[in-house]
Structure 1
């Protein structure tokens, strides 16, 4: 049976640029609870690709498929799990071409007492640990980058482009995942405080109230000139928000 203490929330809003141009939200997020654990995933379809909204939704579904297989055999190598995500993604985007559906992929899998994290491409994963030493951020440092290239799911599987981590669920209080429409507007030193404040504010809320407040907050994003879609999701342990 899954650990009943764990829950999730999330939301996504279309960016002003896509509203003006009549394009769909190219972000996606999904979360599911299984008898063996929970999975939360967010994905950002690359804006230059014509079917990136298809790619981001397929990325979420592909992670669920791979997580089910991983739960059935946790002795599997994590690289093989990433390869399985890629394979399921290729199947789920058909009949579209991979080059037209490229998307990032960020996930958290809670399976049998272990939280497994994966990040491919832009966006951020913030782990709120039971202590400061257990907390960490998985994200790109764009200030140090000399390229506009974004790693993503595409026709070729490239395991070295993935960043992964694991943490004992007893040492983890929450995992926040967001696309770069949110993370790029945060100063590096503010990313963890931002994630902690969100967890603290939303942990005890009624789900309907939380959903409405989250959409209001994302829709009124306070950064001047923002244009991108915005998606955020959280896997959290009830009763431990600080």
Structure 2
């Protein structure tokens, strides 16, 4: 998928991991984006591998997310950064959850999925996540080197558990995390599911996520250097990267990478 409007070039995909390829099972990740006027919305989701319809759940989640987040954000594009943006993101999440649960009904748990969303507007960047997806921003330079910043993730379910929260979890509304970033220097955004966490992130001594600068720089640079519509070769190159032995050795799960770089106006 690729697009270049609202001042951003956007490209990404989801691919099945080694285990799913080996077993002949479909990819349970999904990603989507949309653009409306000055607003772009990007979303990624990771269906729970243990649930029978999680592939459908992740697809439904990202489709609903881009629809409802762009609707809320386009209607409030002039909202100043701050608490109002957090409220907007939370309201859009409730819209998504309501339709998701209405659509899946009594079988909702079978469609369990995480969800991570980024909203790009002229005045602010909004971020909402439930589960273990992550976002890396490119903003500014230091000593001539590009700088990368990982946005905070939701707190772990418990100190002793690596269990994640899903859109369908009873306490999902209390487990979401939102951010509002107001920095005109942001010129790159990367969203991913946890299948790329080992490649894209490390952990500080305090446990906070830190971007792998070499990985992020390569991912953004390959989109920077191909102006205009995203080519077939760029799409094939990203697919080859996500299926590469190097990344598979780090994590055999499905992988999603959705990236956006700010277009340079002539």
Global fold match (TM > 0.5):
yes
Contact 1:131–1:171 at 8 Å: present in 2 too?
A: no
Match of 2:58?
56
Match of 1:120?
130
1:215 equivalenced with 2:239 (yes/no): yes
User: Residue 200 of structure 1 is aligned with which of 221, 226, 229?
Assistant: 221
Shift of the 43–96 alpha-carbon distance from structure 1 to 2, 3 Å rule, reads farther
Q: In the aligned structure 2, how far is the partner of 1:239 from the partner of 1:185? A: 28
Match of 2:33?
31
Q: In the aligned structure 2, how far is the partner of 1:41 from the partner of 1:187? A: 19
1:168 equivalenced with 2:182 (yes/no): yes
SS in 2 for 1:222: helix
Shift of the 211–88 alpha-carbon distance from structure 1 to 2, 3 Å rule, reads same
Contact 2:191–2:259 at 8 Å: present in 1 too?
A: yes
SS in 2 for 1:156: coil
TM-score by length of 1: 0.85
1:153 equivalenced with 2:167 (yes/no): yes
User: Residue 70 of structure 1 is aligned with which of 51, 65, 73?
Assistant: 73
Q: In the aligned structure 2, how far is the partner of 1:45 from the partner of 1:107? A: 15
Q: In the aligned structure 1, how far is the partner of 2:217 from the partner of 2:153? A: 16
User: RMSD of aligned C-alpha atoms?
Assistant: 2.8
Post-superposition shift, 1:188?
A: 0.8
Q: In the aligned structure 1, how far is the partner of 2:108 from the partner of 2:15? A: 25
Shift of the 174–229 alpha-carbon distance from structure 1 to 2, 3 Å rule, reads same
Post-superposition shift, 1:100?
A: 0.5
Match of 1:13?
15
Residue correspondences, number: 237
Match of 1:183?
197
Question: Deviation digits for residues 63-120 of structure 1, max 9, x if unmatched?
Answer: 122211332145572322221221132244x357111011011111113422111111
TM-score by length of 2: 0.78
Shift of the 155–123 alpha-carbon distance from structure 1 to 2, 3 Å rule, reads closer
Contact 2:6–2:37 at 8 Å: present in 1 too?
A: no
Indicate the larger mover: 196-205 or 126-135: 126-135
Contact 2:28–2:58 at 8 Å: present in 1 too?
A: yes
Shift of the 131–120 alpha-carbon distance from structure 1 to 2, 3 Å rule, reads farther
Shift of the 169–7 alpha-carbon distance from structure 1 to 2, 3 Å rule, reads farther
